[in-house]
Structure 1
Amino acid sequence: MKSEHLPLLKSVSTPAVHPDGSRAVVSVVRPDFDADSYVGQLWTVPVDPALRPRRITRGFRDTAPDFSPDGEVLAFLRAAPGGKPQLHVVEAGGGEPVAVTDAPLGVGAFTWSPDSRSIVFSARTPEDGRYGTVDGVSAGGEDARLITDYQYRMNGVGYTADKPLQLFVVEVPSLDEEPAVAPAGRALKAATSADGGETEGRKGTRSLPAARQLTTAATDHNGASFSADGGALYFTAALHEGSDNDLVSGVYRLPLPAGDAAAADANADSGEAAPEEVPLAGTARLSASAVRQSRDGRWLYFTAQDLGPTGQDFVARNTALFVMPAGGGDAVALSDVETLDLVGGLEPAGSDGVLVLNNARGTMELLEFGPDGRRSTLLDGDRVVTGAAERAGTVLLSFSDAATAGDVAVLDAGGLRVLTDFSAPLRADAGILPPQELTFASPDGYPVHGWLVAPAGEGPHPVLLNIHGGPFAQYSGALFDEAQVYAAAGYAVLMCNPRGSAGYGQAHGRAIKERMGTVDMQDVLAFLDGALEKFEDLDAGALGIMGGSYGGYLTAWTISHDHRFKAAIVERGYLDPVSFTGSSDIGWFFGGEYTGRSAEQMAAQSPMARVEHVRTPTLVIHSEEDLRCPVEQGQRYFTALKQLGVEAAFLVFPGENHELSRSGTPHHRRQRFDQILQWWSRHLPSAANPAPQDGAAAAAPAAG
C-alpha cells in the first residue's frame, strides 16, 4: 500500500437492520483527494445470498443510517461539501430524501421514537454572536470568553461551554405529501409583500418541521435513547454539583409529554418535566457512557467506569456493563471489570438482552448479555467488530480483519457469513501484507503480545518499532494503513501492546500508573529484541522508532535511554507533564493521574526532563489545532533538540487536530505519509525507499 491508495480505505458504519431482519443499510465512507474530504453513501446489504449489495443514495457524505421501528422510513445524516451533517428521511423502499433539520453546527446523533412518528437528535447550540450566528461577525470578531472552569474545550470541538450538546425532538414529516413549490412571478410578489420580504417561498426553500429543544443545561447530553413505551428519554450527562472537578457522569431520565412531537409542542408551556437522575444504587462514583432499556421495558442497561473515590482515577479503568430494574432498584454488574473492557454503545437483543463489544488481546469481540447474568460470545477470533445490531433474531455486524478495512457479515447457525467485499479494490491495487502474531517475554518474564508486518522479498529488512497512543489503547491484527504503507516501503513493522495497553485486563493497563516509562519501555524493547533474535531477515543494525500521542511520549523517552536507533519520529507527543497541565484539554487531570502530581514525580517521567540525553535524529510532527497534546509540546521538544545539536526537523500541519493520522484531510494524510517516508529514506533507507540522491535532501521537512 502507498499513500495514493488512501481513497481505497473504506470505513463501514454499524449496520441498521430492517425490523424484519432481511437486510441492513450501512454507510461506506472513504477519503477523496479531489474533494480533499471524506465522501460516502448508503448501501443496502441483503441477507439473502442470491441478492447483491447496492448503493442506495448519492449524497456527498451520507452516514449513520437507522430504520424507523415500523420499517417504513430510513433516517440518516447528510452533509453537503463544506457543510454540516443534517438529518434526512427517505422511504425505506427508496425515493428522494427529505431534509428534516438545519442545525447551525450540524446534527450529532439521533434516535427514533418507538411509534416511528418522531426523532430525538443531538446538536450543539451556539451562543448568539458566535460561530457565524450573526452575519459579519467572524471568529476573530467574537466577544471575549471569560473562563472559570477546568473543562472548557475539547480536541476536535474547540470551546464547549458556548455550544453545549443539547437534545431536540422533531416530528417526522409525511413522505406522501407533494413537495412544496417555490412561488414565482405574481405569487412571489404577493408573498413578499405580505410578510415584508421574508418568506420561505421567496427564498426558494422548503419549510422544515419545527424542532423543540428538550434540554438546556450548559453541558453535553449524550447517547439519548427512548424508553420502550416512548414515555421518556434516557441519556448520560454530568449534571451533578461540582461536575467541573471530576469525570463523573450519570444516567438521566427525561419524561416526555404524552403523544407525538406536535402534542409535545402544544404542551410546551404547561410545565415541562426536568431530567431526573437515575439512582444507581450499589455503585461507586461512575462515568456512565451508554444507556439503553430492554425491548420488554423491564430492564435498564448501562456501561460505566469506576473512577474511585476522587472521581478522577480514570487510568486503565475497564468499562463494565450494569443492569437494574427499569422501575428502580440496585444496579448489578454483569461483566467482570478486571478482565472485560466493554466499548461503544448498547444494542437491544431479543426481548430482554443487549449486544456489546469487548476489547480482547488485540481483537474486538461481540458479546450478548441477559439481565440474569447470562453471557454469550457471539463472535471472537482474529478480527475487530466495529458495530452490530439484531432484529427479528438476525444479527448483522460490521468488522475489519487482516484482509479488509471494513465489511458487513451476518451470524448464521454455521458461523460468520460475509455479505460484502468493500476492500476488494484495496487488495487488488495496493496489495495487503499479512500480520504475523507474536509473543515475547519481557526481562521479568511478562508476556508481550504483538504483530510483525514484514515486507515482501528477502531481507535483511530495516525495522520500524511502532508504539501506539493511549496509553490505554491497543494494536490489533486488523488491517492498519500505517503498517501497510511502511511495509510496502521495505520496512519490517513491529507493533506490540506493552503494559499500560487495553485489552489484557485492568492490572495490565494500570501497571504504569505513576510509573510511565518503566515496564512499558521494557516491554517494547523486549518485543523488539525478541523479534530480532527470532527472524534472521530483520536487520538489527538498521532500526527506527516512532509513535504518536502516548506513542510519541514513549518514543521520546526511549531515545533518551537507548541510542541504537538510526532515527526517530515523535508525533503529537505528550512530552512535558508540567506544561501539559495548563495547555491540554485533559491536562487538568490526565498527567496527575498518570505521573503523579509532585514536581519530583513529573520530572522522573518527563521526556523534556531527559532531552539532553537524546542523540537520535528526530522528526517531530504536530498539528496546529491539537488540543489534546498541544503544539507547544512539539515546539519545545524540537527547539530543545536543536539547541543540543541533535539533528531535528519539525513538521507542522495547519487546520488539523490530534486526529490527523486517522481523520485529517486526505491531502494532509497523504502528505504525512510521504514526509515520513522521506525521513526514513534519509536515515534508514530500504530497497523500496532508497536514500535520496545528491540535492534531493531539499525535499525533506523544513527545520523551522
Structure 2
Amino acid sequence: MKPADISQLHALGAPTISPDGQHAIVSVTRPDLESDEYRGGLWLVRTDGSTEPRRLTRGPRDAAPAYSPDGAWLAFVRGGDGAKPQLYVMPTAGGEPWKVTDQPLGVSEPVWSPDSRRLAFVARVPEEGRYGDGEPDKERPRRITGLQFRWDDLGFYLDRRAHVFVVDPFAEEHSPTQVTEGDFDHGEVAWSPDGSLLAFVAARHDERDTTLTNDVWVAAPDGSGLRRLTATDLLAAAPRFTPDGASVCFLGSTAGSDGRKLVCRNLGLWLVPLAGGATRRLTDEERLHLCEAPYVPTADGVLVTVENRGAKDLLRVPYAGTEPEVLIGGPREVTAVAQAADVTVVTVADARTPGELVALRDGGERTLTSFGRDLDVLPIEEVTGTAPDGYPVHGWIVRPAGEGPHPVLLMIHGGPFTQYGWHVFDEAQVYASAGYAVVMGNPRGSSGYGQAHGRHIIGDVGRLSAVDLLALLDAALATGGLDASRAGVLGGSHGGFMTTWLAAHHGERFRAAISERAVNAIDSFHGSSDIGWSFAHDMYGEDPARWVEQSPLTHADKIDIPFLIIHSEHDWRCPVEQAQRLFVKLRLRGVEAELLLFPGEGHELSRSGLPSHRVARFEAILDWWGRHL
C-alpha cells in the first residue's frame, strides 16, 4: 500500500433498512485525489444477497440515508464541491431526488416522522451578519463569557447554535419550522412512535458553560411542551424512543460531582421513563464501553456496539439490565446497525476490509457487499506483552513481506481512552508496505478492557503509559524478525505526548521519533485547547504544579534523537503552540528537528484532512524513516 492508495479505502456510513427488511441502503465514501475531496454515493443492497449491490446516487457526496416508515421515500443529505450539505428526498420506486432545504450552514441528521409525511433535521443558525458570503476576518468581534465556545474542526459555535427543524418535503414551498430556540445547541433528534414528540439532547441549564453535563429533552413538533427528562448529571447523547413509546434510551457517561470528570469513563446505555422518573443504567459501568455509533431499540432489547479488546461486538441489551447477548463477536468491528422486520444489517470492518454490509436474517449471517475486494493488505498478528507488575498488554504486529530483520515502529494511539483494533488501518499498512514492522497496541489508559484499565494512568500519564508500551515493544521484538537497533516511535495527540515522553526518558531505545498534533505542555494546553479547561484537571490531576513535571516539554532537554513534529495550523484540540514550543526548544539545543505544518487543517488531519494533505503527510513520514532507520 502506497500513500496515494488511500483513494482505495472506502468508508461506510450508517445503513438504513426498508420497513419490510428486504433492502438496505448505505453510503460509500472515498478520498478523491483528483478533486482533492471526499466523494461518495448511496448503494442499494438486497438483504438476502440475491443480487449484486447497485449504485443508487452519484453525489458528489451523499450520506445519511433514511427510509420512510412506509417504504415509499428515501431522505438523504447531499453536499460536496463546496456546497453545504442539504436535505434531499427521492421515491424508492425510481425517480430523481429533489432538494428540500437551503439552510445557510447545511443540515444533518434527517429522521422521518412515523406517518412518513415530515422530516426532522438539525441545522446551525448563524447570527445575523455572520458566516455569509463576506470576509470572515472583517466580522464584528465575538463576545465570549463562558468556557465552551469552539470545537476542533468546527470552529466557533456560540454564534451559530444548532437547532431542531421539521419540514414537509411534499409541500409546494419547503418552509421548515424551527422547533427549538435560544442560545443553546440541540441535536440528535428522534421521533416518538406516535409522532407526537421529538426527543433531542441539549445543555440548557445555568451551569452549561462550566460543566460537561446536558439533558435529554422532549417537545412537540411545533416546539411546544418542552420538557426535560434527565437530571443534568450525565453527558447524554443519541436519545431513542423504545418501541412502546413509554421510555427513552440514550447513551451517557457519568460526569462526577462537579460535572467535569469524563476522562476514561465507560459510555453506557441508559433508560428514562417518558412520564418522568429516575434514569437507569442498563450496561455494566466497569465492563462495557459502548461505541458512539447508531444503535436500535427493539421489542426484545437494544442493539448496541461495544468495544472489546480491539474488537467491536454487537450486543442485544435487555431492558431489565440483565446480561447482554452477543450477536456478533470475534476479531472484527461492528460500526453501525439497523433493523426492520426481524432483519438486522450491520457495517463490519476486519483485518481485510475497511467495511462491508452484513445481514443477520433467517437464523444466519451473510456478507452482502465486497467493496474492499480489490485491496491487497498485509495481515496483522496478535502479541501480548507483560508489564513489570505482571499485567498483560495486548497489541498487534503488522509485518512487511520477507524474513527481515525489519526496522520497527512503535505506534501509539491518541485519546488515550480509545483503542487500536481489527480493521484495515491505513497508517500501519503504508508503513509496513514500505518495509517497517509496525507494533501497536492498547496499553493501560485505552478503552475496551474495562474502566479500571482506562483510568489506571490518571495523574501519572507519562510514566505509567511508558511501562506498558515498552513491555509491548519487548514482546514484539521477542517474536523474531525485527531489528531492535533500528526502532522508531511515533504517535498523534496523546500518542504524540507519549512519543515526546519516550524520546526524553527512553531515547536509547529509538533512533528517531515523529510526534503529531501532540500535547506537550499541560499548562498552556489547559487554557488554549477546546477541551483543555476540563481535560487537564481530569487527566493529569488537580495540582497545576505537577503539570510542569508531567509535561513532556519539561523533559525535552533530554532528547537527543532526530525528532520530526507534524501539526495542523487550525488544530484547536492541541493548538499549534504545543508544536512550536517543542520545536524551538529542540532546535536551540542543536537537536536535529523539523516542523511540518499543514495549513487549513485541524486535529483530524490524518483521518479526514484534504486527501492531498494526507498523502503529503505519509510521504514526509516515509522520507523521515528512510533517512533515520
SS in structure 1 of the partner of residue 126 of structure 2: coil
SS in structure 2 of the partner of residue 679 of structure 1: helix
- Residue deviations 1:138-172 (CA, integer Å, cap 9, x gap): 11110011211111100011001001111111012
Any conservation in 1 of the 2:49–2:366 contact (CA below 8 Å)?
A: no
Q: CA deviation at 1:324?
A: 3.1
Q: CA deviation at 1:337?
A: 0.6
CA RMSD of aligned residues (A): 1.4
In structure 2, the residue matched to 1:43 is: 43
Any conservation in 1 of the 2:77–2:86 contact (CA below 8 Å)?
A: yes
SS in structure 2 of the partner of residue 324 of structure 1: strand
2:344 maps to which of 391, 395, 400: 395
In structure 2, the residue matched to 1:210 is: 175
In structure 2, the residue matched to 1:594 is: 539
In structure 2, the residue matched to 1:182 is: none
| Letter paired with 2:226 | P
In structure 1, what is the Cα distance between the partners aligned to 2:100 and 2:31?
Answer: 27
Q: Does residue 114 of structure 2 align to residue 149 of structure 1?
A: no
Q: Does residue 567 of structure 2 align to residue 616 of structure 1?
A: no
SS in structure 1 of the partner of residue 170 of structure 2: coil
In structure 1, the residue matched to 2:56 is: 56
| Letter paired with 1:22 | Q
In structure 1, the residue matched to 2:493 is: 549
* More off after superposition, 457-466 vs 337-346: 337-346
Q: Does residue 534 of structure 2 align to residue 534 of structure 1?
A: no
| Letter paired with 1:278 | L
In structure 1, what is the Cα distance between the partners aligned to 2:321 and 2:459?
Answer: 35
In structure 2, what is the Cα distance between the partners aligned to 1:324 and 1:468?
Answer: 35
SS in structure 1 of the partner of residue 201 of structure 2: strand
Q: CA deviation at 1:349?
A: 4.3
* More off after superposition, 337-346 vs 665-674: 337-346
* More off after superposition, 321-330 vs 586-595: 321-330
In structure 1, what is the Cα distance between the partners aligned to 2:525 and 2:80?
Answer: 37
Any conservation in 1 of the 2:240–2:297 contact (CA below 8 Å)?
A: no
In structure 2, the residue matched to 1:263 is: none
In structure 1, what is the Cα distance between the partners aligned to 2:94 and 2:243?
Answer: 28
In structure 2, what is the Cα distance between the partners aligned to 1:93 and 1:540?
Answer: 61
- Residue deviations 1:21-55 (CA, integer Å, cap 9, x gap): 00100000000011100000000010123211010
Any conservation in 2 of the 1:350–1:393 contact (CA below 8 Å)?
A: no
In structure 2, the residue matched to 1:454 is: 399
- Residue deviations 1:164-221 (CA, integer Å, cap 9, x gap): 11111101216xxxxxxxxxxxxxxxxxxxxxxxxxxxxxxxx750011111122211
In structure 2, what is the Cα distance between the partners aligned to 1:108 and 1:625?
Answer: 23
In structure 2, the residue matched to 1:332 is: 280
Q: CA deviation at 1:299?
A: 2.6
In structure 1, what is the Cα distance between the partners aligned to 2:227 and 2:182?
Answer: 13
Any conservation in 2 of the 1:253–1:277 contact (CA below 8 Å)?
A: yes
| Letter paired with 1:394 | V
Q: CA deviation at 1:321?
A: 1.1
| Letter paired with 1:364 | K
In structure 2, the residue matched to 1:238 is: 203
Any conservation in 2 of the 1:339–1:506 contact (CA below 8 Å)?
A: yes
Q: Does residue 468 of structure 2 align to residue 520 of structure 1?
A: no
| Letter paired with 1:451 | W
Q: CA deviation at 1:348?
A: 3.2
SS in structure 2 of the partner of residue 382 of structure 1: coil
C-alpha spacing 1:556/1:415, structure 2 compared with 1 (3 Å): farther
In structure 2, the residue matched to 1:273 is: 224
In structure 1, what is the Cα distance between the partners aligned to 2:173 and 2:458?
Answer: 52
2:616 maps to which of 671, 675, 685: 671
Any conservation in 2 of the 1:402–1:479 contact (CA below 8 Å)?
A: yes
In structure 2, the residue matched to 1:411 is: 360
- Residue deviations 1:264-316 (CA, integer Å, cap 9, x gap): xxxxxxxx525211145xxx821111211112212321121011101111111
1:617-632 superposed matches below 5 A: 617-632=562-577
* More off after superposition, 662-671 vs 365-374: 365-374
In structure 2, the residue matched to 1:91 is: 91
SS in structure 2 of the partner of residue 681 of structure 1: helix
* More off after superposition, 369-378 vs 155-164: 369-378
Q: After TM superposition, which residue ranges in structure 1, 4 or more long, deviate above 3 angstroms?
A: 345-350, 412-415
In structure 1, the residue matched to 2:519 is: 574
Any conservation in 2 of the 1:437–1:477 contact (CA below 8 Å)?
A: no
- Residue deviations 1:519-571 (CA, integer Å, cap 9, x gap): 21100011001111222x10010000000000000000111101221110000
In structure 1, what is the Cα distance between the partners aligned to 2:406 and 2:394?
Answer: 21
Q: Does residue 131 of structure 2 align to residue 131 of structure 1?
A: yes
In structure 2, the residue matched to 1:221 is: 186
Q: Does residue 258 of structure 2 align to residue 310 of structure 1?
A: yes
In structure 1, the residue matched to 2:267 is: 319
In structure 2, what is the Cα distance between the partners aligned to 1:348 and 1:681?
Answer: 48
TM-score (normalizing by structure 2): 0.98
1:182-221 superposed matches below 5 A: 208-221=173-186
In structure 1, what is the Cα distance between the partners aligned to 2:38 and 2:473?
Answer: 36
| Letter paired with 1:6 | I
In structure 2, what is the Cα distance between the partners aligned to 1:81 and 1:492?
Answer: 38
| Letter paired with 2:313 | E
In structure 2, the residue matched to 1:197 is: none
In structure 2, what is the Cα distance between the partners aligned to 1:448 and 1:414?
Answer: 36
In structure 1, the residue matched to 2:333 is: 384
Any conservation in 1 of the 2:14–2:294 contact (CA below 8 Å)?
A: no
In structure 1, what is the Cα distance between the partners aligned to 2:212 and 2:335?
Answer: 26
In structure 2, the residue matched to 1:293 is: 241
1:559 maps to which of 475, 498, 503: 503
Any conservation in 1 of the 2:40–2:59 contact (CA below 8 Å)?
A: yes
- Residue deviations 1:358-404 (CA, integer Å, cap 9, x gap): 11110111111232234221111111111011100000000110010
In structure 2, what is the Cα distance between the partners aligned to 1:381 and 1:559?
Answer: 36
Greater Rg over alpha carbons, structure: 1
SS in structure 1 of the partner of residue 626 of structure 2: helix
Any conservation in 2 of the 1:32–1:39 contact (CA below 8 Å)?
A: yes
| Letter paired with 1:252 | W
In structure 1, the residue matched to 2:220 is: 255
Q: Does residue 604 of structure 2 align to residue 650 of structure 1?
A: no
In structure 1, what is the Cα distance between the partners aligned to 2:361 and 2:300?
Answer: 21
1:412-451 superposed matches below 5 A: 412=361, 415-425=364-374, 427=375, 431-451=376-396
In structure 2, the residue matched to 1:72 is: 72
1:497-508 superposed matches below 5 A: 497-508=442-453
In structure 1, what is the Cα distance between the partners aligned to 2:425 and 2:80?
Answer: 29
Q: CA deviation at 1:343?
A: 1.9
SS in structure 2 of the partner of residue 85 of structure 1: strand
In structure 2, the residue matched to 1:695 is: none
In structure 2, the residue matched to 1:363 is: 311
Q: CA deviation at 1:352?
A: 5.5
SS in structure 1 of the partner of residue 81 of structure 2: coil
In structure 1, the residue matched to 2:156 is: 159
In structure 2, the residue matched to 1:583 is: 528
For structure 1, list consecutive stretches of 5 or more residues without a partner in the other structure: 175-206, 258-271, 685-704
In structure 2, the residue matched to 1:104 is: 104
C-alpha spacing 1:208/1:86, structure 2 compared with 1 (3 Å): farther
Q: CA deviation at 1:250?
A: 0.8
In structure 1, what is the Cα distance between the partners aligned to 2:602 and 2:372?
Answer: 27
| Letter paired with 1:554 | M
| Letter paired with 1:78 | R
| Letter paired with 1:156 | D
TM-score (normalizing by structure 1): 0.87
In structure 1, what is the Cα distance between the partners aligned to 2:531 and 2:123?
Answer: 23
Any conservation in 2 of the 1:12–1:27 contact (CA below 8 Å)?
A: yes
Any conservation in 2 of the 1:291–1:346 contact (CA below 8 Å)?
A: no
